[in-house]
Structure formats: C-alpha cells, structure tokens
C-alpha cells in the first residue's frame, strides 16, 4: 500500500538528510585533509548532493527517507531511472541549487535570478518532468532486510560521534594551539602544509621583491590594482 508523506514528514526528511550530509562532510574533510583542503562552502553542499545521488541510485532512498519507510518510485519515464534521477537532483534539489549559485566567481544578480526562476519551475513540475515520485510504503509490504528505525537511529548517533571526533582531530592537528585554546568556538580546520605545497613551492621558486614586481607591471599595464583574493 502506497501513501503520500505529510509536509511535516518531508521537513523531517530534509532535516535528517541535511544533518547527515553535514556530518559526512566533516568525516570526508578529515580523511583527505592531508592532500586536499575542502572549504565548508560549497564543499558541504557538494557532499550533500553526492549523498543524495548515491542514496537514490543504490537504495532509492536516503537515511531520512528510510526512517519513514519512503522510497523513490519510478513512474516509467522514457529515459533510464538513474539518468532521470541525476538530472532531477542536479537541477531541482536544494543542495544542487545552492551549489550552483555559490559556484560562480562573482554574484551577477540577473543571472542569479534567472537561474533561481528556472530551478523553481523545474522543482514545481519535476514529478511530471522526471517521472519520479516520493512515496511511503506500508510496513507490511516492505522487503525483508530493510533497516528498522532503531538501527537507523543507532547509525545516526554513531555518525554524529565519528563526525565530532573527526572535526576535533582535524582542528587540533591543523590549527595553532593558542588559537583553539583562546577561542575554541572559532576554531576550525585549516589547510595542512602538504595540501598547499604546490603554492609554497611556487613562491620558493619564483622569489621576487614585491616593489620590483609591482613596478615591472607598469611596463605592460597602465593601471595596476592590488587586492586580496578570496580565501
């Protein structure tokens, strides 16, 4: 028996999946911190998008959906379900929209509004366009082996614990001890020396007096603007 989810259940699924992606981000950021530094924006939304796509692709549900026994149902579109699912998430899901809007080098208002309008239209009609719907199955009709709510809660708690430890270890190992002891609320993981090695090596191999460098630019340009890049 299929049932539609209530608005409250949709909100809880969104909250569970969003926080799950948040915890996964800290674990992934710690695991690859030695070779690569992932900034929170837009790294968190990228992890969230990947989490959704893998969940739908492999299990047709996420952790939040599994809590309410909900699954992604294929309404029989012409294209394969996996391809329609990727298109659906890429252009209509919340993490994808935020990732796209934060991915530009600078904010251009007309382009931003146009993109939000197109994504909004697709989100309103995505069930009809992509032929994929979210349904809740009756417990008696669920397949054997589906995780119970108790197991889902345990997995969620373990995820919180592992992510918290990963965040703490990553912060302590990459930040100055004076910083996270004097201002622990503002302490955050920093890039490791190895992750920025290509930049430091470039500076070592291309040493030049700053005054000579700036004056040299005037031989090519009429105007030279000194500014600070986005970190």
In a domain, 204, yes or no: no
Terminal Cα-to-Cα distance of the chain (whole angstroms): 52
Exposed, middle or buried by CB within 10 Å (0-12, 13-18, 19+), for 20?
A: buried
pLDDT above 90 (res 97): no
- Rounded mean pLDDT, 206-228: 88
Structural domain total, the chain:
1
Q: Residues near 85 by Cβ (< 8 Å), separated by ≥ 6?
A: 53, 56, 57, 72, 130, 132
Give this prediction's pTM.
Answer: 0.81
Q: What rounded mean pLDDT belongs to the chain?
A: 85
Domain extent for 87: 2-180
Please tell me the least confidently modeled range out of 53-57, 104-108, 117-121, 166-170. Answer: 104-108
Q: Could you tell me if residue 125 is inside a domain?
A: yes
- Report the C-alpha gap between 98 and 18 in whole angstroms: 13
22 located within any domain: yes
């Amino acid at each position: 028996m299929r049932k539609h989810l209530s608005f409250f259940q949709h909100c809880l699924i969104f909250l569970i999946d969003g926080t799950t992606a948040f915890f996964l981000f800290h674990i992934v950021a710690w695991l690859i911190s030695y070779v690569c530094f992932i900034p929170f924006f837009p790294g968190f939304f990228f992890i969230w998008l990947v989490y959704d796509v893998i969940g739908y692709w492999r299990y047709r549900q996420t952790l939040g959906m599994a809590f309410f026994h909900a699954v992604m149902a294929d309404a029989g579109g012409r294209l394969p379900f996996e391809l329609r699912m990727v298109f659906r998430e890429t252009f209509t899901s919340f993490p994808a929209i935020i990732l796209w809007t934060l991915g530009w080098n600078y904010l251009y208002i007309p382009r931003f509004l146009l993109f939000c309008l197109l994504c909004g239209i697709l989100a309103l009609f995505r069930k009809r366009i992509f032929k994929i719907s979210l349904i809740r199955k009756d417990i008696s009709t669920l397949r054997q082996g589906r995780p119970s709510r108790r197991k889902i809660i345990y997995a969620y708690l373990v995820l919180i614990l592992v992510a918290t430890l990963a965040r703490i270890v990553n912060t302590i190992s990459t930040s100055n001890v004076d910083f996270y002891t004097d201002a622990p609320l503002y302490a955050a993981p920093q890039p490791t020396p190895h992750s920025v090695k290509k930049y430091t090596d470039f500076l070592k191999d291309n040493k030049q007096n700053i005054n000579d460098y700036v004056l040299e630019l005037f031989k090519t340009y009429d105007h030279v603007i000194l500014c600070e890049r986005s970190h």
